[in-house]
Amino acid sequence: MLKNLIQLYRTTRELHASIVSQSEAINNEATKADLNELADTALAMRSIAEFADEIRKRANSIKELAEKAACMVAVSMRHVGPIETEYCKATPEVKPIATLPDKRRNPEEYAALMQYYGIPELAYAGDNPLMQVYWPGVMERLNADLAAGKPTPPGIDPSKTTNKFTLSIRRKKGVLE
């Protein structure tokens, strides 16, 4: 594992422990604070949450880039099976992702997709449909169908179908072990 990655992990872990400890103390003090202190506490904690969120976003972005790169390298090398390291066992997963038609911009494609999945027109048509479509479920079903090699259903533009590269990771040992 890269030395600077181990150092970043160590720093993050230490900072996390410090923040948890300090926030516990602040939480206990906040219950005894006056109105002005409570407002200041809310302001400071909002900023701290924004910093933490920025760190989370950056870490997730690098993680996703590493996953995508690992999958693409594995595919290009015709690597079969998991990637085994001292720290983990990572299995590359390539899942097709389709862009769903928008009901207002592409009503014909939208209707074709609904009909393909056997959803009655009464359930989805009009400005106030009888039911709302649960898009995560439609995406899951559609992506499973595509992964199984089924043809792209009507209403889905095959040129807008891409692949999502992820790693299924099982830790063997911790970063600092």
Q: How does pLDDT run across 43-93, given as a tens digit for each residue?
A: 999 999 999 999 999 999 999 999 999 999 998 999 989 999 999 999 998
Question: What are the backbone dihedrals phi and psi of residue 104, each rounded to the nearest 5 degrees, phi first?
Answer: -85, -40
Q: In the chain, how many domains are there?
A: 2
Are 46 and 103 within one domain?
A: no
110 pLDDT more than 80? yes
Are 7 and 71 within one domain?
A: yes
Average pLDDT, the chain: 90
Are 104 and 63 within one domain?
A: no
Q: How many percent of the chain have pLDDT more than 70?
A: 100
Domain that holds residue 139: 99-160
Are 106 and 74 within one domain?
A: no
Domain membership flag for residue 85? no
pLDDT at position 100: 83
pTM for this structure? 0.72
HSE (side-chain half, CA atoms, 13 Å) at 50? 6
Domain membership flag for residue 143? yes
Domain membership flag for residue 71? yes
Domain membership flag for residue 174? no
Residue 55, phi-psi category: left (phi > 0), alpha (psi -120 to 50), beta (remainder): alpha
